[in-house]
Structure 1
Amino acid sequence: MKEQSPPKVRFVTVDADLAGQRIDNFLRTQLKGVPKSMIYRILRKGEVRVNKGRIKPEYKLQADDIVRVPPVRVSPADDKPNPKLDKVASLAEQILFEDDRILVINKPSGIAVHGGSGLSFGLIEGLRALRPEAKFMELVHRLDRDTSGCILIAKKRSALRHMHEQLRDGQMDKRYQALVQGEWPENRFKVKAPLQKNVLQSGERLVNVNEAGKPSETRYRILSQFAGATLVEASPITGRTHQIRVHCLHAGHPIACDTKYGDAQFDEKMRKLGLNRLFLHASSIRFIHPKSGEPVTFTAPLDNQLCRILDTL
């Protein structure tokens, strides 16, 4: 067996496009496979230096900073086939658009946007594995684990900043399709109700309508009417956690197969028809492209299961 040479100190000069990134996030890309706890430990001990000085984990990098990356030993990975490889490969088929600034993907239902809460694999980890040469890859926004559809990834920090500005200024237009219980009223075009987020001891997030919550608004229009159900288009004006799901429930029309905010009888009926996932899909996204400055729109088709349930209805 070949003996591995011990890791050495590295000095990394920060690229201008990485300016503004927190040092802890930068180290996670430099020290792949190193646990977060170890990264914070070497920061606290002063083993990481920027321009020869100690820094805090929240320090934001500047262009041309010189970062001292200490040698860190990680246990060697075994050569067994990784069961996540199939998941990573399947993500490639869901990419709707990609260039040097952005990537748009039709996220499948059941995949969290990032690892955590007991999940080691998430969409962003999968995309980084798919594009190992990419120096930068971050989520622009999020989707719930069970929601499918358009999600936007920045491949440069400048693109991330540009698109976060659009989100803050309300310039990004996101449309969702949701199958809801009952007959959505033709004259109900919006739901305005303040939302409060509660985090349980388990870490689970639950949201409810509460006057003490944050102002929230969702616009709606009817796409198709069925017996006992309606397919609606939902456009969130604000971007609160679980907003569309809670606003539908507040309006008296919960979304099909919503395990947190759904109606048990309606869900059972939908399951008998073949639906076993939340019927909420981010169908399109419209924004200003960070490079061209032109408006672009991307649409994501419904998956086979959602198409089948609509045909059945």
Structure 2
Amino acid sequence: MKAVSFLVTSEDHGRPLGDIAADRLGEAGRVAAQRGGLWLGKRRAAASTLAIAGETLSVRFPPTHGYCDAPLTLENIIYEDNDVLVVNKPPACYVGDTPWDTQGSVLAVVQRLLTVRDGVPPVLHLAHQLDFGTSGILVLSKTPRANAPLQTAFARGLAMKQYLAVCSGHPPVTADLVTGHGRAAGGRWRLYDQADIGRVLPDGQRVRLAHTRFTLRRQFANAALVEAMPLTGRTHQIRLHLAALGCPILGDERYGGVVDVAGLHLTHPLLHAAELQLPHPIHGRSLHLFCPPPSLILTVIDRLRQ
């Protein structure tokens, strides 16, 4: 069950939406309301919002694995000053709000951790995004004055990023992929020919440039460890480009990656944001950040070596 919608009746007019969800759906509705899963049309609604008769209330639920808080502690902080916070994002968690949950993301958990530590709720904003399955360096602003410069650095290619990926097959020693990038007719991300860059798609969006450089770091029997440098920041860019090379990332089932590897069942792509260099948003001096791979990637590499 992903979502349930129903019309607010005259009997429920003026009641808190959370109470209505709990009455209609029991404990599942109550928890969904607490986690931010209530919607009126395209607008998220608080559990305390008073209902208006005739409105359509939607209650959104998480995937089958249920609600999950990002497994972070203060030890996940890589770097921090008055304006910038950098954390080591674990794999298999969302960085921001999802349609069914506002409480379990990296952003929400870090806000709670800093509130307990400092006694004051922080003002945090994500400077960029990492996929659900991707681990590693995630940058947040702590002050409004840092937010725009950080986002500009990522948008304009001033942030130099290095990723590690464990992929299948035999990738070239070096590769430089330049393609178009946009959504397919079904809404999923896909690559386009360079000649299509700038073309307007049926959804009104344009095909945009996607550019990634790859370097082979270690070749195994039928898999490899590669370093990826994305020179643009398109959604799923590294995953799509490695799949285009015929070497999808292990665990990346969406783009053809193998999910059973060396006795392990992988539930997310083995992709890690390992290194980042960018100008500090206030004083401009270069920040050079490093983050070791998570234990799962190290375990897979060790088994592939054997």
- Shared fold (TM-score greater than 0.5)? yes
1:150 offset after TM fit, Å? 0.4
Q: What does 1:1-313 align with in structure 2 at a 5 Å threshold?
A: 74=48, 87=69, 90-120=72-102, 121-132=104-115, 133-186=120-173, 188-198=174-184, 206-210=188-192, 211=196, 212=199, 213-263=207-257, 266-268=258-260, 270=261, 272-273=263-264, 275-313=266-304
**Identity rate, percent:** 28
Conserved? CA contact 2:37–2:99, under 8 Å: no
Residues 248-275 of structure 1 deviation map (CA, whole Å, 9 limit, x = unaligned): 1111111101021123xx433x162464
Alpha-carbon distance in structure 2 between the residues aligned to 1:93 and 1:208: 37
| 1:90 aligned counterpart, secondary structure | coil
- CA, structure 1 residues 88+164, in 2 after alignment: closer, same or farther (shift >3 Å)? closer
Q: Distance in 1 between matches of 2:108 and 2:185?
A: 24
Secondary structure at the aligned position of 1:166 is classed as helix
Question: In 1, Cα distance between the equivalents of 2:185 and 2:125?
Answer: 25
In structure 2, give the amino acid aligned to 1:189. Answer: A
RMSD: 3.1
Question: Structure 1 274/135 Cα, relative in aligned 2: closer, same or farther at 3 Å?
Answer: closer
Q: One-letter code of the match for 2:251?
A: C
Residue 185 to residue 124, structure 1, CA distance change in 2 (3 Å): same
Distance 1:233 1:258 in 2: 17
The answer for unaligned runs of 5 or more in structure 2 is: 1-35, 50-65, 200-206
Q: Deviation at 1:303?
A: 1.0
Give the 3 Å change call, closer, same or farther, for CA 36–96 of structure 1 in structure 2: farther
Q: Render the CA deviation track for 1:2-23: whole Å, top value 9, x for unaligned.
A: xxxxxxxxxxxxxxxxxxxxxx
CA contact (8 A) 1:257 1:267 kept: yes
TM-score, normalised to structure 2's length?
A: 0.69
Q: Distance in 1 between matches of 2:294 and 2:171?
A: 23
User: How far, CA to CA, are the matches of 1:255 and 1:93 in structure 2?
Assistant: 28
Q: Secondary structure at the match of 2:253?
A: coil
CA shift, 1:117, in A, is 3.0
